[in-house]
Structure formats: structure tokens, C-alpha cells
């Protein structure tokens, strides 16, 4: 195992971060590493340590860091101007590509972040339906707005459909506007929609929730029930858009929502996100079509930024190449299969959860179908495992391995070797604790 070196430069930067940033970080939960650069499927920190990167900037770098085609596109625009607060060719062409690729997309509106996209999608549903309440699913992540932070990760789940705020500073009134259902529970979700259909503006969910694939029939049942009552169904595809398939989760699972949100991949590593969907709902962004009463105000200084749009277009062009998704899924499946086998050999209660482009280990046995199931996972053991992996040159977030087209067979071999070594050490630690429990 290579020892991670900490240079004076990096230590000084960490010290400065502690002095100037709350918690010593940007809020993303990786405070003890300062990344210097990234190329392909790897990154280097300020001390020169090299890592196979499964963080990928929390997912945007699907074609890898510093891809020459993406850099060329961004640099070509950079010398022409960085932002205009006006229509530009790159943004218009990216909107056209999204409409062509994403099944539900008839119109597109750009914003800068996934949080904005999800907040505007919920607002568009409210404007369209002239209702206030939104149904979401416990554990579903829809950004950082007040509404999204109801039952994102409740430590003590409430009783459905009552949600609980996950952050300080959220008005109590917001809690009453959100209904919460368990993910993958068809009967409960349908019952809540039928009971509250007169008050519901929309239903929002990640079709692939964090690490949890939908059980057969779940998305289809939601589509059928929301259609029955004319309630917009919103797919949050900030993560899954252009990742599970070129047309996103709605193509992958064969279920088309009324609206979707996109982010991460479509900006090619730059800040860009979008709301896309049915023309009659998206019409609320156009005052000329809906009048003052129906108009949904949306203004953003960097919305449709030409550099981000150029990088996004280049990224999508790479993804459209024959064999791209087959290669992405093959790499992810090889990793999932290897980790599953290593966990089995370790004897630890653990399992791999997710799909080839996005997965992780949960240190628990039993079925994983909703947020409450994932709470059985041993969070401390996962934290320790991630720390051991970082010492072995693997970078990932608290949860999720994001797989990229740039990850090579060598990256896969390095990762498998690191898993094997880390699990061996983790198993010894667990065995020692079992033999020498702390006195009560």
C-alpha cells in the first residue's frame, strides 16, 4: 500500500480552508484533499498523490476529465466571450439536441444548477395545475431548495405522508406543502395520489433514487395514476440524464414523464442544468402564451452560458458514438461483479447496490428497495472503507461510484486490488473488535 504524502503546500491550503470556510470545505464533504488536476479517469491532489477518480465532480465528468474534444469546444468559445445574458448559438443548439434525445422534451429552459432546475420544475407544475402540494419520495434528492429538503435523509423517518425538514432555516409552512411516500411502494404511492389528487400540483422523483433502481412496475404505476388525474409527473434526471442511456432513465426504463430536470452531464463539467418537458407545461415560462397570471418568472445571469453549452454539446457528441454506453455499462458491471465477489469472500454483511454507471456498497444484508432499508447500513464501516480506499489511491464520495468512459482496464485492476486490500484490513478490524469488545 502506497503511503499518502501530504506536502507543505497542501497542508497550508487545508489550514487556510479551515480558517476561511465553514467546516473547512465547500460543503461537499471532502475536506481533507485538495485536488490539483484531473485527466481521463484520474485526479491528482496538491501533494502529487494520484487517484482513480470515481467522484467525477459528483458525476458531470462522464467522458473523463480534460477530454480534448470538450476542452477544444470550451476554449474556442472562451476567446469569443464568456457570457452574454442573451441567446447564443451554443445554447440553442444544445436545446435542440436535448429535444431530439430526451423522450419527454418538447421545450427546454436552461438554468445553472440542479437545485434551480428541480425548484422550477415544481413551480411549473404548480403554475400548470393551479395547485400547491407536491408528492416526493423519502430519500429522494432534488437539490437544496426548501421544498426539496423535506425528507431527503431523515434520521428518524416520520409517518407517511408527513415529511420532516432536513435542514435548519426551513419555514414550517413548507412542510405542509410536501407529501412524502416510500420509494418503490406502488400501493402507498397510488393511494396517496388518489387521496390527495385535488390538491396535488405534481409528483417528483428520481426514477433511479440515489442507488436504488425502481422495482418492476413502479414507474409504470406512477405514470398510469398521475395520468388518470392529469397530475404532472416529474423525473429528476440531474444524475441519470444521458447517463443510464442517451435519452436518460426515461429511455432506459421505458416510462415517459411530463417534465424532467437535467444537469451534470449536459454541462460537460461547467455549471449548467435544464428543465425540459411538455410544451403546454413549459408554456408557463412564456408570458405571451399564458398571460400575466400564468407566467412563471425565471431569470438567471448564467443560464444557457455559451461555454457550458459548448462543453455540453461536445460531451453529448462523444456519448452518441457507437458503443459508448455498451462500454460504460461493461466497465461498471465488471466493477460491480468484482466488488460483489470480494465482499462475499470477506464474510462482511454487505452488498453492492445500484446500476453499472452508478453504484456503491451498503454494509447490511437484506433487500434494499427504499430509503429506510438503506438506513440499516453501517455508516461508520462505509466511512472507514472509503478512508482505506483513499489511502490506496481511490477517490469517491460518501456514497456512489460514478463510472466514466475514461476509466481504463488498468483503472479497473487498480480499483479491484485496492478493494481487496482494504476489505482485508477492514475484516481484521471487525474481527478484533468482536474478540475484544469495549467494556460496558
Q: Is residue 440 part of a domain?
A: no
Alpha carbons 263 and 33: distance in angstroms, whole number: 25
Alpha carbons 347 and 262: distance in angstroms, whole number: 39
Using alpha carbons, select from 287, 316, 241 the residue that is nearest to residue 90.
316
Q: What is the pTM of this model?
A: 0.95
Instruction: Give the pairing type, strands 259-262 and 233-237.
Output: parallel
Residues 273 and 365 placed together within one structural domain of the fold = no
Range of the domain at 227: 68-319
Sign of the CA dihedral with 392 first, then 394, 400, and 405 last: negative
Q: Which of 262, 291, 319 is the last residue of a domain?
A: 319
Residues 412 and 429 placed together within one structural domain of the fold = yes
CATH code, 427: 3.90.1150.10
List the helix and strand counts (H, then E) for the chain: 15, 14
CATH code, 158: 3.40.640.10
Q: Which of 271, 288, 319 is the last residue of a domain?
A: 319
Positions of the chain with pLDDT under 70? 1-3, 157-158, 431-440
Q: Is residue 315 part of a domain?
A: yes
| C-beta of residue 63 within 8 angstroms of C-beta of residue 315 | yes
| C-beta of residue 258 within 8 angstroms of C-beta of residue 247 | no
Using alpha carbons, select from 137, 327, 276, 117 the residue that is nearest to residue 215.
137
Residues 241 and 112 placed together within one structural domain of the fold = yes
Alpha carbons 32 and 30: distance in angstroms, whole number: 6
| C-beta of residue 13 within 8 angstroms of C-beta of residue 45 | no
Backbone angles phi, psi at 78, to 5 degrees: -55, -40
C-alpha cell recorded at residue 67 = 477530454
Q: Burial level of 23, CB count in 10 A (0-12/13-18/19+)?
A: exposed
Residues 30 and 92 placed together within one structural domain of the fold = no
| C-beta of residue 184 within 8 angstroms of C-beta of residue 212 | yes
| C-beta of residue 100 within 8 angstroms of C-beta of residue 256 | no
Give the pLDDT of residue 157.
Answer: 66
C-alpha cell recorded at residue 318 = 462523444
Residues 183 and 248 placed together within one structural domain of the fold = yes
C-alpha cell recorded at residue 46 = 496538491
Q: Is residue 3 part of a domain?
A: no
Residues 272 and 420 placed together within one structural domain of the fold = no
Give the pLDDT of residue 158.
Answer: 65
Alpha carbons 342 and 52: distance in angstroms, whole number: 19
Q: Is residue 117 part of a domain?
A: yes
Using alpha carbons, select from 26, 29, 31 the residue that is nearest to residue 14.
31
Residues 108 and 226 placed together within one structural domain of the fold = yes
Give the pLDDT of residue 431.
Answer: 65
Question: How many structural domains are present in the chain?
Answer: 2
Alpha carbons 322 and 101: distance in angstroms, whole number: 15
SS3 353: strand
Q: Where are the beta strands (DSSP E) in 336-377?
A: 351-355, 358-362
Residues 139 and 162 placed together within one structural domain of the fold = yes
- Annotated catalytic residues are 141, 236, 264
Using alpha carbons, select from 298, 228, 309 the residue that is nearest to residue 273.
309
Residues 88 and 36 placed together within one structural domain of the fold = no
Instruction: Give the pairing type, strands 233-237 and 42-45.
Output: unpaired
Backbone angles phi, psi at 200, to 5 degrees: -85, 130
Residues in the chain: 440
Q: Is residue 149 part of a domain?
A: yes
Q: Is residue 2 part of a domain?
A: no
Q: Mind giving me the DSSP string for 10-56?
A: HHHHHHHHHHHSGGGSSSSS-TT--EEEEEBTEEEETT--EEEESSG
C-alpha cell recorded at residue 376 = 440499516
C-alpha cell recorded at residue 193 = 395520489
Q: Alpha helix (H) ranges present in 347-408?
A: 371-374, 379-391
Q: Is residue 1 part of a domain?
A: no
- Asked whether the bond before 286 is cis by omega within 30 degrees of 0, the reply is no
Give the pLDDT of residue 141.
Answer: 96
Q: Which of 269, 285, 319 is the last residue of a domain?
A: 319
Q: Is residue 214 part of a domain?
A: yes
Residues 106 and 158 placed together within one structural domain of the fold = yes
SS3 189: helix
Residues 275 and 424 placed together within one structural domain of the fold = no
C-alpha cell recorded at residue 210 = 440515489
Residues 150 and 285 placed together within one structural domain of the fold = yes
Alpha carbons 413 and 97: distance in angstroms, whole number: 36
| C-beta of residue 384 within 8 angstroms of C-beta of residue 425 | no
| Angle at the Cα of 98 from the Cα atoms of 92 and 100, rounded to 5 degrees | 105
Residue carrying the nine cell digits 480552508: 17
Amino acid at each position: 500500500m502506497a503511503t499518502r504524502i501530504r506536502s507543505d503546500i497542501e497542508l497550508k491550503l487545508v489550514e487556510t480552508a479551515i480558517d476561511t470556510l465553514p467546516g473547512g470545505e465547500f460543503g461537499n464533504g471532502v475536506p481533507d484533499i485538495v485536488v490539483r488536476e484531473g485527466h481521463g479517469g484520474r485526479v491528482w491532489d496538491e501533494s502529487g498523490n494520484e487517484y482513480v477518480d470515481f467522484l467525477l465532480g459528483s458525476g458531470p465528468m462522464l467522458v473523463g476529465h480534460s477530454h480534448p474534444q470538450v476542452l477544444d469546444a470550451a476554449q474556442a468559445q472562451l476567446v469569443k466571450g464568456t457570457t452574454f445574458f442573451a441567446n447564443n448559438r451554443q445554447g440553442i443548439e444544445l436545446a435542440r439536441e436535448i429535444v431530439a434525445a430526451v423522450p419527454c422534451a418538447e421545450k427546454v429552459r436552461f438554468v445553472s444548477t440542479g437545485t434551480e432546475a428541480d425548484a422550477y420544475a415544481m413551480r411549473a407544475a404548480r403554475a400548470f395545475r393551479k395547485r400547491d402540494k407536491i408528492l416526493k419520495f423519502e430519500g429522494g434528492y432534488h437539490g437544496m431548495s426548501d421544498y426539496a429538503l423535506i425528507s431527503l435523509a431523515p434520521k428518524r423517518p416520520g409517518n407517511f405522508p408527513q415529511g420532516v425538514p432536513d435542514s435548519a432555516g426551513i419555514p414550517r409552512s413548507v412542510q405542509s406543502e410536501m407529501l412524502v411516500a416510500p420509494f418503490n411502494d406502488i400501493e402507498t404511492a397510488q393511494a396517496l395520489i388518489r387521496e390527495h389528487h385535488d390538491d396535488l400540483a405534481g409528483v417528483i422523483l428520481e426514477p433511479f433514487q440515489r442507488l436504488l433502481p425502481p422495482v418492476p412496475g413502479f414507474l409504470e404505476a406512477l405514470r398510469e395514476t398521475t395520468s388518470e388525474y392529469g397530475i404532472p409527473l416529474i423525473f429528476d434526471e440531474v444524475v441519470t440524464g444521458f447517463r443510464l442511456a442517451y435519452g436518460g432513465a426515461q429511455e432506459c426504463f421505458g416510462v415517459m414523464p411530463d417534465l424532467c430536470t437535467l444537469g451534470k452531464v449536459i454541462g460537460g463539467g461547467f455549471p449548467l442544468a435544464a428543465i425540459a418537458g411538455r410544451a403546454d407545461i413549459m408554456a408557463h415560462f412564456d408570458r405571451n402564451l399564458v398571460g400575466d397570471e400564468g407566467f412563471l418568472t425565471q431569470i438567471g445571469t448564467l443560464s444557457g452560458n455559451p461555454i457550458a453549452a459548448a462543453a455540453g454539446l461536445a460531451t453529448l457528441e462523444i456519448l452518441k458514438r457507437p458503443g459508448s454506453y455498451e462500454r460504460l455499462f461493461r466497465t461498471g458491471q465488471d466493477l460491480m461483479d468484482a466488488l460483489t465477489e470480494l465482499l462475499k469472500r470477506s464474510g462482511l454483511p454487505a452488498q453492492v447496490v445500484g446500476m453499472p454507471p452508478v453504484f456503491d456498497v451498503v454494509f447490511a444484508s437484506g433487500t434494499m428497495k427504499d430509503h429506510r432499508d438503506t438506513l440499516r447500513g453501517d455508516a461508520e464501516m462505509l466511512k472507514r472503507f472509503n478512508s482505506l480506499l483513499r489511502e490506496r489511491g481511490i477517490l469517491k464520495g460518501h456514497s456512489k461510484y460514478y463510472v466514466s468512459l475514461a476509466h481504463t482496464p488498468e483503472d479497473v485492476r487498480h480499483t479491484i486490488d485496492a478493494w481487496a486490500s482494504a476489505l482485508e484490513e477492514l475484516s481484521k478490524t471487525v474481527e478484533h473488535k468482536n474478540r475484544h469488545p469495549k467494556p460496558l
